[in-house]
C-alpha cells in the first residue's frame, strides 16, 4: 500500500514540476532532456547498482527493435499531447487522464486479453465516467 501511495505522490507532482520547466524550455527540449536523464539513471541503476550486463539488448530481432521504436514514438507523441493539455489546466486534465486511462485499460483487457469484469467493477467504471463529467462540468 505504501508503494502505491508513494508512486501516486510522485506522479502527482510531475505536472507541477514540468510547468516550472516550461517557463524556460519548450516541450521538445523537455522530452530530450528528460530522455537523457532517464537513460543515465537507468544505466546507473541497472548496470552499476544491480550489476546487470545489459547484453540482451544487442540480441533483439528487427521486429523487437521496431516495436521499441514504435513505443518510443508513442511516448513522445503522447507526452507532447499531454503537455498541451496540461497548459490549460493541470488539475482537471490530471483527473480526466487518470480516469480515462483506467477505463481504457479495462476495455483493452476485455477486448484483447479476454478478461472478465464483475458487476461491481462495471459499476465502478460507470461511476468513474460520471465523475469525469462532474469534474469537468
Greater model confidence, 4 or 34: 34
Q: Are residues 21 and 7 in the same domain?
A: yes
pLDDT in tens, 70-113: 999 998 888 888 777 766 666 666 667 777 777 787 888 888 88
Task: Tell me which of 88, 108, 127 is where a domain ends.
Answer: 88
pLDDT in tens, 37-52: 998 998 898 888 888 8
Q: What is the pTM of this model?
A: 0.60
Q: What's the CA gap between 75 and 81, in Å, rounded?
A: 10
Q: What's the CA gap between 107 and 14, in Å, rounded?
A: 27
Which string of DSSP letters, residue by residue, matches 58-97?
GG--HHHHHHHHHHHHHHHHHHHHHHHHHHH-HHHHHHHH
118 is written with which cell numbers?
A: 464483475
Q: Are residues 44 and 97 in the same domain?
A: no
| Domain interval for residue 132 | 90-137
Q: Are residues 3 and 61 in the same domain?
A: yes
Which class for 82: exposed (0-12), middle (13-18), buried (19 or more C-beta within 10 A)? middle
Task: Say how many domains are in the chain.
Answer: 2
Q: Are residues 74 and 97 in the same domain?
A: no
pLDDT in tens, 112-127: 888 888 889 888 878 8
Amino acid at each position: 500500500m505504501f508503494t502505491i501511495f508513494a508512486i501516486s505522490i510522485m506522479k502527482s507532482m510531475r505536472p507541477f514540476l514540468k510547468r516550472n520547466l516550461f517557463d524556460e524550455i519548450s516541450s521538445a527540449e523537455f522530452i530530450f532532456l528528460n530522455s537523457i536523464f532517464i537513460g543515465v539513471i537507468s544505466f546507473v541503476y541497472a548496470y552499476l547498482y544491480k550489476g546487470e550486463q545489459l547484453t540482451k539488448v544487442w540480441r533483439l530481432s528487427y521486429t523487437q527493435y521496431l516495436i521499441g521504436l514504435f513505443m518510443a514514438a508513442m511516448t513522445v507523441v503522447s507526452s507532447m499531447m499531454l503537455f498541451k493539455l496540461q497548459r490549460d489546466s493541470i488539475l482537471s486534465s490530471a483527473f480526466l487522464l487518470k480516469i480515462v486511462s483506467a477505463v481504457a485499460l479495462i476495455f483493452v483487457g476485455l477486448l484483447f486479453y479476454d478478461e472478465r469484469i464483475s458487476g461491481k467493477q462495471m459499476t465502478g467504471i460507470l461511476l468513474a465516467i460520471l465523475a469525469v463529467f462532474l469534474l469537468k462540468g
